Amino acid sequence: MEKGYLSLVLHAHLPFVRHPEDENFLEEKWLYEAITETYIPLIWVFENLLNDGVKFRLTISLSPPLIAMLTDSLLQQRYLKHLNKLRELAAREVSRTKKEQHEVHQCALMYQNMFEKAYKTFHYDYQDNLVQAFKKFQDHGVLEVITCAGTHGYLPLLGIHRETVRAQINLAVDYYREYFGKNPEGMWLPECAYNPGDDKFLKEAGIKYFFVDTHGLLFSTPRPKYGIYAPVICPSGTAAFGRDMESSKQVWSANEGYPGDFDYREFYRDIGYDLDYDYIKPYIHPDGIRTDTGLKYYRITGKNTDYKQPYIPHHAREKAAIHAGNFMFNRERQIEYLSRHMDRPPIVVSPYDAELFGHWWFEGPMWLEFLIRKITFDQNIIELKTPGDYLEEIPNNQPSQPPMTSWGYKGYNEVWLEGSNDWIYRHLHNCAERMIELANNNSGGEPELIRRALNQAAREIFLAQASDWAFIMKTGTMVDYARKRTTDHVSRFTKLYKEIKERTVDESWLKKLEDTDNIFPKINYEIYKTV
């Protein structure tokens, strides 16, 4: 008889990056890499388990921008071109490495098989639309697919206008319903960032639960009787689940967790940088910028050393199995202990960025599959449950109010509000104030051209609000792109605002914007109306 529950939660999100004007836009590779290295490998895991009759429950959040990109025909076709280049490169590598070390040649064969299988999965099994795969798994009862705020806006810093928070939440729920045919059970608040009172809008939208970081639950008022091992119920009636730091750190920490094992693949050693330029040139950026190809032949080997030994897949697979067993053992002991001190089954919530699995930690998907199989067949203490399952079984939980919190560095707002990015908020707040004004002052009976402009204005402000841009500015990677995206969307909104006010909308320019920033085709600007 199980004594408690483990809730594995994967948060899948990428910022909306789509540039029809440039077929080789560097930042679009974020999506292509994630599809090949994370989303498709996770689909293989779920398919393997389903085919073998393994019963399991897992939670995955698909953000609206990610869904928009996965269902966009232009990006789908560009991804196929990208994948075909990888297939060509892998075939060349199989031929080239015949004279290399045996282990390197075996790696080349592994990548060739991986890319060929990925092509079949993407193009033939799911007709270029991977959202269909996740819906299938939800319909089979093994996944609980949840949503995330509209464009991954950092809600505590946007909440000066409450209409903005409501709009981000309602947009996400409407968009989810369009693809999954039902209301989402839960919502991943971007960056696990919660501000007291935001749960009211979640409740209004039909959301039953969300997540906060460890301290977000422990510092709730009153203090939770069960710590982070049971949810609390916010004043609105929406449940908040807290992250278990112990289980999370074992997986995501490169220094203390499994991904740093010396037998695992080295992420930072790619043939895009290692091989002769003339040979690799057709497979990197056309401007000659060396980029990752995804073909990496070396293992981590050791800390603080440039010397790397060849990657040996079956050694890594053995380690993944060992680490899955270790993770399960730790959760068994954890839940055994907790169950002796609680009057209800404890739930250990382990949330991760989905892109950790496969992209950053190549062996992550196989670790996940080993773990699920071991939990199913090798023990009787843990049961996999989703937060929605838990609330259905145990609906009566302690009322408490979590504080403002995030899972960023130091636990609050510092990552998204500091010297590198604080300048964006006066512009975002000004745009929000103007968007609310437009929504309140237009009744819905305006001419078609004006309505199109109003809807596009809403798209532009949503895209400007993405937390990704502030995060990138803080971390110092691709900063120019993040600054440009912020200023571009703010400038476009400002021009639309003036043209709407003056009823002088430039239709040709508007059409260009609609074709470029085409996220949320059914958006209704009235989502910003004051209620």
- Active-site amino acid positions: 191, 353
CA 105 vs CA 111, 282, 361, 414: distances in Å: 10, 21, 21, 46
How far apart CA 236 and CA 254 sit, in angstroms, is 38
Q: Reduced to 3 states, what is the DSSP secondary structure of residue 100?
A: coil
Q: Which residues pair with 144 in a beta bridge?
A: 59
Residue located via tokens 């098989």: 113
Q: Which residues pair with 242 in a beta bridge?
A: 212
Is 274 in contact with 290 (CB distance < 8 Å)?
no
| Parallel/antiparallel/unpaired status of strands 58-62 and 4-12 | parallel
**151: Cα separation from own chain's centroid:** 11
Can you give 442-478 as a three-state secondary structure string?
CCCCCCHHHHHHHHHHHHHHHHHCEHHHHHHHHHCCC
How far apart CA 186 and CA 148 sit, in angstroms, is 9
Is 386 in contact with 59 (CB distance < 8 Å)?
yes
Residue located via tokens 């050693």: 269
As a whole number of Å, the CA-based R_g of the chain is 24
How far apart CA 328 and CA 381 sit, in angstroms, is 10
How far apart CA 429 and CA 437 sit, in angstroms, is 12
DSSP string, 200-233: HHHHHTT--EEEE-HHHHHT-BSPPTTTTSS-EE
- Helix axis angle for 364-377 and 313-339, nearest 10°, is 50
Angle in degrees, CA 184, 186, 192, rounded to 5: 135
Is 433 in contact with 161 (CB distance < 8 Å)?
yes
Question: If residue 510 lies in a helix (H) or strand (E), which one and from where to where?
Answer: helix 507-516
Is 86 in contact with 115 (CB distance < 8 Å)?
yes
Angle in degrees, CA 212, 346, 393, rounded to 5: 90
Angle in degrees, CA 485, 490, 491, rounded to 5: 100
How far apart CA 209 and CA 506 sit, in angstroms, is 43
CA 440 vs CA 21, 94, 174, 446, 459: distances in Å: 34, 62, 20, 13, 17
